[in-house]
Structure 1
């Protein structure tokens, strides 16, 4: 009985200490992680709030993607994954897939990711793909989207019911046969309360604006859509290492045009000795719309150790009716919101010219006064620019997701300090009780 009582006392004395330690562990466990499934750090910042999901092999086993939600999965070489959407007959639906190869993998010209949205009859409502291509055969995130649009003139994919997202990975035998990480997002665009324009604009200003004046400002990029750093009008500088990919985001409202160019700085040993050489497809820049659909890309920039520059083609002002155009890229400028710039540096640059990092300069301009949004029947969500987004980028680039994360970290830090205090007090009380029980005649 004495052993039982002592055991019970020890257990009760451990209670406060265990609770405090457990709570502290829970706080640490709640912190967002960016590790790959194999434990290695990921070069891409996946959304820490993304839900884990497993794509099915058949439509009958497909799991549902909820509107406004982000998911994580992975896809094998030659793999096909299927997910389900439950759509109404009024809203436009968009689903994007970001494929993330490992940083040390080998990729080839034909390696690509394809995403399709199909109705219950097996017909494609829309599909797109993204591949590395001949010019830039190095691992970096690829993104593509598919969508279902409500159109009175369409004869399929207009009814309410079950739809299916099909993601396929194809490639060549020379590529590294390891899974690619996937980040999948489903968002909806409300219907219009009254009929809008049904034809794409026939003309728009295509001349690039004069370079913005003022001193360049430093702005480190994010490593994914989730943590993309904000840019406003002006010239921005950063450092990029060979093999790295940086993400930035720019608010573009209705009626506004975005122009973007990038300069890659010269190498320290350019033109002589071990620093001499030539890398084709050394630098890649791409622009994505708020639904993560590819708008334009510049993948053919070659590098010989001397400074180089590249720019995206002029794009039309953001307009609802752009979606009715026939030119790829122009029709992706179909809604307002955050537009994303991705820049990637070929790891071969490091092999030829040194590990770096290399100087990067981004020149961004958004022209035109914001216009009124279309007559949406509900909140536009991702397809809008809030008043804060219209302001110039802050000096620290902390807006939107980054600011929210910073606030979260402050809360976590405060919670950690508070939990530490509780832990210390709990251990103190536990120690005092233990000493009192050890005294002669104590209870």
Structure 2
């Protein structure tokens, strides 16, 4: 957007000159070449209607979310009243998410004072620029921002360090949080610090578990030691499969582990409960707790008679990245994940800062598969000493929050897109008979795409904090391939008791177990010890982009940029899972 370029500064053109504000292009991505062409044709002249330019810039921005305006000028406002500082204050007061920054280009003291007033009233900052290079650097600085990170608000059920006294989880809890402790025993990949929980179960149901770290965003960590995360059922006869996608070399961002049970019955869960553990391995964040969220998904009385045979693994479908992409407002976690369009020629683009993770969601039915492509748009971040690589890593999760595809990474210096997705259509039968490439593709519904900005470096782990950071940019597109097929049906789950009822039942059960253990003590082998020795089956298994300054001869230009924040969560698709609230009622 420009102002003061279409008239002269003659007195008779005052009224027209104070309305002389031109939008070069609407606020969206993928139009840098068009903007360059518009800027090349600009000739500076006329009046300086800063107030009108700010108002029009604000109208170009979305009504909600983090938004910013950068006003660049080489002089004072020549179209007051109203005073431009009052206009800036008025716009900023309309919402805390609108920030107005200013840059003075070769300005005198009077103009500098006015531009500082505008920035102060608009909740932003003022910077000086003396030449094209410093002007470009000022624009980069003003397009930096602090990280937007998720913080768990789930009820906490801290895991017990004692396997024989696991933490009791009430029947009506679907998800909970816990600190994952470091007791100093996890010196290598063999030893680890395990924490234990117990959940009530019903006959014939399966249980799907997931654990995801929600530690504060960080950099580096290469020399902090290897990292591992293992989620397992205590009675190995309960275990159908388990896997971990924790990055052993750099545990930045979300790290995950998952497990699936067999059907509850005589060999597992016959006493009305199952125990499971989460084990932390390695030296990463030695001496510090790592917060995790755990999710419990219950599958009751499945009927797969209408489900066709699953397909074998094949190449992930190709995804085209169009030239134009809409600005995205990604979420910070599963609850506020943004809907990702899958129409042909649809894509989104957004900025991301080091240590940040973005979440998107796409509904996928049985018989269909998800594919996505990501491409880096570059970054203003200068590589710091000791930094080996800046990259974006992409992961896909199902509704149970279990990882369903091998992660893919793209460095910020690469202009080649990377594809990630399902290696076969979704089919519930793979839960028992899938291959290593397909066994995770058992659940339909929302599939979640997570994009995290990793800064891998030597030295210790460093938390990001609230400091302003330069942004990187990426474009993301997705498609859903295939035709829907029948899925399984499930029995209605029994209504769970209240938390107090569940706690009372657990207390009674603990008392019975204590008596049984005492009776068996002469044999030196309690019930839990006997169960632990059972057989095992386990498979491991504005210009929204940072604007370039085209010429130093522009008298004044306003750039507008729509930031992002998570959009309100839409209702998730109905399904066959037993739906429970995310914390005890």
Normalised TM-score (structure 2)? 0.50
Residue deviations 1:45-78, cap 9 Å, x none? 2453x21212112244223333552111101224
Deviation at 1:180, TM superposition (A): 0.5
For the Cα contact (< 8 Å) 1:261–1:362, is it kept in 2? yes
Match of 2:287 in 1: 177
Match of 2:242 in 1: 127
**Which has the greater radius of gyration?**
2
The CA distance in 1 between the partners of 2:299 and 2:376, in whole Å, is: 37
Gaps of 5+ in 1: 1-40, 380-395, 403-443
The CA distance in 2 between the partners of 1:194 and 1:299, in whole Å, is: 32
The CA distance in 2 between the partners of 1:321 and 1:124, in whole Å, is: 17
Deviation at 1:214, TM superposition (A): 8.3
The CA distance in 1 between the partners of 2:165 and 2:386, in whole Å, is: 52
Higher relative CO (Cα under 8 Å, sequence separation at least 6) belongs to 2
The CA distance in 2 between the partners of 1:209 and 1:300, in whole Å, is: 17
Gap change, CA 1:226 and 1:112, over 3 Å in 2: farther
Which of the residues 344, 347, 351 maps onto 2:452?
344
Which of the residues 258, 279, 297 maps onto 1:168?
279
Aligned residues: 331
1:268-279 counterparts in 2 under 5 A?
A: 268=380, 279=388
Deviation at 1:131, TM superposition (A): 1.9
1:229 maps onto 2:341 in alignment: no
Deviation at 1:295, TM superposition (A): 1.2
Match of 2:24 in 1: none
For the Cα contact (< 8 Å) 1:99–1:143, is it kept in 2? yes
1:286 maps onto 2:395 in alignment: yes
Match of 2:360 in 1: 248
For the Cα contact (< 8 Å) 1:99–1:113, is it kept in 2? no
1:267 maps onto 2:267 in alignment: no
For the Cα contact (< 8 Å) 1:236–1:363, is it kept in 2? yes
Secondary structure of the residue that 1:286 maps to in structure 2? strand
The CA distance in 2 between the partners of 1:163 and 1:204, in whole Å, is: 33
Residue deviations 1:126-181, cap 9 Å, x none? 432232134xx2521112221213299xx843645221120110113x64431101
Indicate the RMSD between aligned Cα atoms, in angstroms.
Answer: 3.5
The CA distance in 1 between the partners of 2:304 and 2:448, in whole Å, is: 30
For the Cα contact (< 8 Å) 1:283–1:345, is it kept in 2? yes
Match of 1:186 in 2: 296
Which of the residues 220, 233, 238 maps onto 1:117?
233
Residue deviations 1:349-390, cap 9 Å, x none? 9x9xx94211111111112233333222237xxxxxxxxxxx
Gap change, CA 1:44 and 1:179, over 3 Å in 2: farther
Normalised TM-score (structure 1)? 0.65
Which of the residues 295, 316, 330 maps onto 2:404?
295
The CA distance in 1 between the partners of 2:428 and 2:364, in whole Å, is: 13
Gaps of 5+ in 2: 1-145, 187-192, 463-467, 494-565, 573-585
